Amino acid sequence: MKKTIVTKEGLLKLQEELNELKTVTRVKVGEDLKKARAFGDLSENSEYDEAKNEQAKVEGRILELEELLKNVEVIEETETKKSSGIGFGATVTVVDEATQVEAEYTIVGTAEANFLENKISNESPVGAALFGRKTGDVVTFDTPAGKRTLKIKKVSKNK
């Protein structure tokens, strides 16, 4: 199985999520299931169906997290600081050459990627294009919407 690359912060978040699912969410879903069962006929019990679906979702996420954590590789800050190019945990400020819009991304492994927090995977089109590059480099890469060109304005290695 493929290694799951994460930062220390990402590992802690995954472990916390797994712990929360096992100790709090799983218990709550079990209680919801008991309440729904008490309503009677299970064949026409939408509360029961909903609780069973939620239970399946929670158990699926627990299995997914356990599998991720079995194959985790933590990237130490010192490893990324030693490298001369953009690596895991680096925060990169780029300017889109076509629109002149500036954006800031933090490069993380796929398990930590979160678009809303501007954390992009090293395997995403942008992340792959930036990985290993330096301040001042210009990168061109393919996206579903066509070619895109970014100029690397600034690189900050980890916090």
> How does residue 1 score in pLDDT terms, banded at 50, 70 and 90?
low
> How does residue 49 score in pLDDT terms, banded at 50, 70 and 90?
confident
Return the pLDDT at 10: 85
24 CB-near residues (< 8 Å, 6+ apart): none
Task: Name the CATH code of domain 4-74 (choices 1.10.287.180, 1.10.1060.10, 1.10.8.640, 3.30.450.40).
Answer: 1.10.287.180
The architecture that CATH gives domain 78-156 is Roll (3.10)
Q: List pLDDT tens digits, range 27-45.
A: 999 999 888 888 776 677 7
Residue ranges of the domains in the chain? 4-74, 78-156
The structure's pTM equals 0.66
Q: Where are the alpha helices (DSSP H) in 25-116?
A: 26-37, 46-70, 77-82
